[in-house]
Structure 1
């Protein structure tokens, strides 16, 4: 009897607990969704344009190019775009941001480090250890730091808001990285602008002149009748030195237990090298002898949800490998998707990506993004794109080529056709599990509709309805015509 009473009481508590938990999750989810919309502007898009960077800022060992964040399409998506070109032995100085970031490696290889707050320095050396350097494996005196990752072309690296990261080019060619900042993300508590907080360097000297003259104007920008124009606001947000320069050197000396001279040196007030600096000899970091990350890059390990704590979450995944393609047509091309299922950290930052390759004159089926905006960056080649909004309004019909970016807003329909040189792109998406819906092809909306619905909707006969439904048996990627085109293989 007592056992039955205790069991019933325990069951009631269990039901009550789960009910409260579900209610808490629902309230939390609603709060997060409201926070997500906090800085989102209305997407009143009547015309889209393929955009190139509007501002170029040179550094000692590289070039930083910024897209105009005030362009309506980027404000609609709530994103900011930057491209860094890092020369050999160039170091992009550590910085953190109010917005989460996705980094895509367009070209080259290098090292990437992220300092995740509260996580231990798991790479340690007591007296001597192996390190990566110009001469290969050598000995290094005592050091410890968080994990440093090798990056290469096709890698996507996820950086949560507030996490400082740096990039170093240890290859023989230029390292080019494309970075998207998601300023509309719920993690951003400031405003719709991406703010970069540098731990070193002197961005103010970099942008105000220094040893080199910089061009900082937005081409085609218009002045506005307010106290500060968008261009001036952009420069004022970027001006200033690293965050340590705002502190008194005595406070810094006390904080780090160092002398005042060293405290003044980390403020970098007279540093004119910019945000990408040359490493004098070679960057030396701790690295295990076994190349365990090759297993990660090749997908030979599988996440089981137990071993991945926040501190050990994988930050990168390669989407350029043809063997990882999710959609493949031997005459059309391939598409590889990256989401929170194959890179779990994306669940935290609510972003995903897609890498596509279209062969010459091939098409991507007309489709729309169900739950995200899509920011397309062209890696190579060119294509003709058409984007259609509500009420059948054509908002873009033109060519997009290498180095340009274009936003396709949520639910706007888009079709892509590659040019004679083919077309390669990476698309950043503002949802960790972005979905598309095709409007033509075997898995399309048209295939799912009954014939009689098509007959009456379009005033066509049954034979025409069947051709509309079944003439394309491909899924997402289409060859240029039904007769077939010369086959290409990777």
Structure 2
């Protein structure tokens, strides 16, 4: 049996110590360390030591790939264009490219309508909230248990709950683009992680799937009229109407029931140089009960921080960056960093159940909307006046953090001063 020199053992211990105290590391650095171990094993190690070093190297590679996979899995991702026409565009975050969507059973999409663009009447297999990011227009919606459509005007900042199987159409009657983002729960969807749409009309309309005999019999039409009914609309999903086309007029009374403008409401939290926060739950907007979701709107001022938080409901949070840029960090199981990256407008990422998330805005500030799969979400914070640390008794806080009485008092006093929207240092 070969003898392992004390020199080799010492070098191996140094390598292992360096690795175990440095993890988690960026993937390129971990791969470099792994490569160095292999170089050392072949150059200097005895045959008895070689299998151990190879095992360590293999373990590090597995760990690094798992960490890289988790970070990539949570995002951020931009939407993929799935339709383009004269009337506008449709985008989606596809679970095939963003697997956390199917795992968390949530989905996201975006509709961009050009002036006179019309998204044909349709319904989906998922409940969603629609958030108007830009422009104005009107929509018609028939709720699942209703027998009449409601037509309402929409504008920037409007939140519209769209329940599973609700039929809706969307029309841009303005002179600039109408942009709407959809965030929803896909737990009942045919393909969890994706919204599946069913069109009432057009080249992909429901009637095109039936034989003409069935359509003729159901609608009591002759062959010529049946062909016209099924095939006259050649557009798919989004079309452009002619100038002057008559469309239903919106109802102000219905808008109060169907739409909530989050821009017009007072913030739940406002901090000078920090930003503002609005949480829209079923308490403020009862119609959210129909979709089982809630919405949060955050505007962070330049270089301000949103305190680390997690949802104490069994809820997933989907966050879409509307404007600006910054950094986001998410901490998950075993206190591992699962996301630590830069985000910018157009990015979307997912925060799994009870994972902790925190963000810091860049020099221009940052704005985002988030959807939570709970109608009455409750968030807990790790810093600030309402932090978990404030609810612990001083004795427990002291022994938990292994602090002196004086140090614990300083920490607690800092919590009293910090809001959940933290302005940058002066």
> 1:386 — aligned with what?
329
> What is residue 260 of structure 1 aligned with on the other side?
223
Aligned 8 A contact 2:129 2:291 in 1: no
Q: 1:276 pairs with 223, 238, 242, which one? A: 238
For residues 377-427 of structure 1, the C-alpha deviation after alignment (integer angstroms, 9 at most, x for no partner) is 011001111100021100011111000100011111111111011100000
Bigger shift: residues 257-266 or 428-437 = 257-266
Give me the whole-angstrom Cα distance separating, in 1, the residues matched to 2:210 and 2:82: 29
Give the alignment's TM-score, normalised by structure 1: 0.68
Gaps of 5+ in 2: 1-67
Contact 1:94 1:166 in 2 (8 A): yes
Matched, 1:53 2:79: yes
Pick aligned residue for 1:161 from 156, 164, 176? 164
Task: Give how far 1:80 is off.
Answer: 1.9
Pair 1:397–1:329, CA change in 2 (3 A): same
Deviation, structure 1 residue 191: 4.7
Q: Separation in 2 of the partners of 1:243 and 1:286?
A: 23
CA distance in 1, matches of 2:389, 2:284: 30
Q: Which has the larger radius of gyration?
A: 2
Counterparts of 1:282 and 1:382 in 2: how far apart (Å)?
40
How many pairs are equivalent?
353
TM-score where L is the length of structure 2: 0.78
How does 1:476-487 map onto structure 2 within 5 Å? Answer: 476-481=420-425, 483=426
Structure 1 residue matching 2:70: 3-state secondary structure? coil
Contact residue 315 and residue 343 of structure 1 kept, 8 A: no
Quote how far apart the aligned CAs of 1:45 are: 7.6
More helix by share: 2
Change (3 A) 1:269 1:390: farther
Counterpart residue number, 2:356: 413
1:71-105 Cα offsets, whole Å, 9 max, x none, are 23212221221111100000011111111121111
Corresponding residue SS for 1:75 = helix
Q: 2:393 and 2:311 mapped to 1: Cα distance?
A: 23
What is the CA distance between 1:149 and its match in structure 2? 0.7
Native 8 Å contact 2:151 2:254 kept in 1:
no
Q: Compared with structure 1, are the counterparts of its residues 466 and 270 closer, same or farther at alpha carbon in structure 2 (3 Å cutoff)?
A: same
Structure 1 residues 157, 45: closer, same or farther in 2, change over 3 A? Answer: farther
Alignment of 1:24-35 (within 5 A): none
Unaligned runs of 5+ in 1: 1-43, 122-145, 203-240, 297-313, 484-490
Which residue of 1 is the match for residue 288 of structure 2? Answer: 346
Pick from 419, 422, 426: which aligns with 1:475? 419
Q: What SS class does the counterpart of residue 267 from structure 1 fall into?
A: helix
Partner of 1:171: 174
Please tell me whether residue 197 in structure 1 is matched to residue 223 in structure 2.
Answer: no
Q: Give the secondary-structure state (helix, strand or coil) at the position aligned to 1:83.
A: strand
1:346-365 alignment, distance < 5 Å? 346-365=288-307
Q: Take 1:51 and 1:337, find their aligned partners in 2: how far apart are those partners?
A: 24
Task: Classify the secondary structure of the residue corresponding to 2:353.
Answer: coil
Change (3 A) 1:107 1:429: same
8 Å CA contact 2:323, 2:368 repeated in 1? yes
Distance 1:370 1:261, change over 3 A: farther
> What root-mean-square deviation, in Å, do the aligned CA atoms of Structure 1 and Structure 2 show?
2.1
Cα offsets for 1:133-192 (capped at 9, x unmatched): xxxxxxxxxxxxx2201111111111111111110001111001111231114xx5x452
Counterpart contact for 2:144–2:163, Cα < 8 Å: no
> 1:264, CA displacement in angstroms?
2.1
**Aligned partner (choices 456, 460, 463) of residue 399 of structure 2:** 456
Instruction: Verify the 8 A CA contact 1:148 1:285 in the aligned structure 2.
Output: no
**1:24-423 map, 5 Å:** 46-47=70-71, 48-70=74-96, 71-121=98-148, 146-185=149-188, 188=189, 190-192=190-192, 193-202=194-203, 241-268=204-231, 271=234, 273-287=235-249, 291-292=252-253, 296=256, 314-321=257-264, 323-371=265-313, 372-423=315-366
Deviation at residue 118 of structure 1 after TM alignment = 4.8
